[in-house]
Amino acid sequence: MKIVIADPLPSSAADLLRDEGWDVDAQTGRTPDELHAALADADALIVRSATRVDAGLIARAPRLKVIARAGTGVDNVDLDAASAGGILVVNAPGANSVSVAEHTFALLLAAARSIALADGLMKAGRWDKKRLLGTELRGKTLGVVGLGRIGREVVHRAHAFGMRTIVHDPFISSQVAADLDVELLELDELCAQADFITLHVPSTGTRPLFDAARLSRCKPTLRIINTARGTLIDEAALADAIEHGVVGGAGLDVFQTEPPSDTRLTGLPQVVVTPHIAGSTREAQELVGLETATCVRDFLKTGVVRNAVNYPSLAPEELRRIQPYTVLAQRLGAFLGQISTGRIETVAIRYYGELAEGNTEILVGATLVGFFGTVLSSNVTPINARALAKDRGIEVIESRSTRPRNFTSLISVKLHTSDGERWAEGALFERAGPRLILVDGVSVEAPLEGTLVVIRNNDQPGVIGAVGMILGRHLVNIATFALGRGPTGAVAVVNIDREGADDPVVTDDVLDEIRAVPAVQQVTMVTL
Report the catalytic residues.
229, 258, 276
Distance CA 432, CA 24 (A): 50
DSSP for 352-388 reads: EEGGGSS--HHHHHHHHHHHHTTTS-TT--TTTHHHH
CB count in 10 Å sphere of residue 267: 11
Distance CA 85, CA 57 (A): 12
Produce one character per residue of 121-143: b if its CB has 16 or more CB atoms within 10 Å, e if not: beeeeeeeeeeeeeeebeebbbb
∠ at Cα 503 (499, 508), nearest 5°? 120
∠ at Cα 304 (299, 308), nearest 5°? 75
What is the DSSP code (8-state) at residue 343?
-
Nearest to 32 by CA among 9, 59, 2: 59
CB count in 10 Å sphere of residue 118: 17
Distance CA 475, CA 453 (A): 15
Specify the amino acid at residue 217.
R
φ, ψ (nearest 5 deg) of residue 205: 100, -145
Nearest to 28 by CA among 2, 56, 5, 3: 5
22: CB partners within 8 A, 6+ apart: 1, 2, 3, 300
What distances in angstroms separate CA 96 from CA 92, 286, 289, one per listed residue?
9, 9, 11
Longest Cα–Cα distance in the chain: 83
Contact 450, 417 (CB under 8 A): no
Produce one character per residue of 176-207: b if its CB has 16 or more CB atoms within 10 Å, e if not: bbeebebebbebeebbebbbbbbbbbbeeeee
**How crowded is the C-beta side of 48, counted as CA atoms within 13 Å?**
15
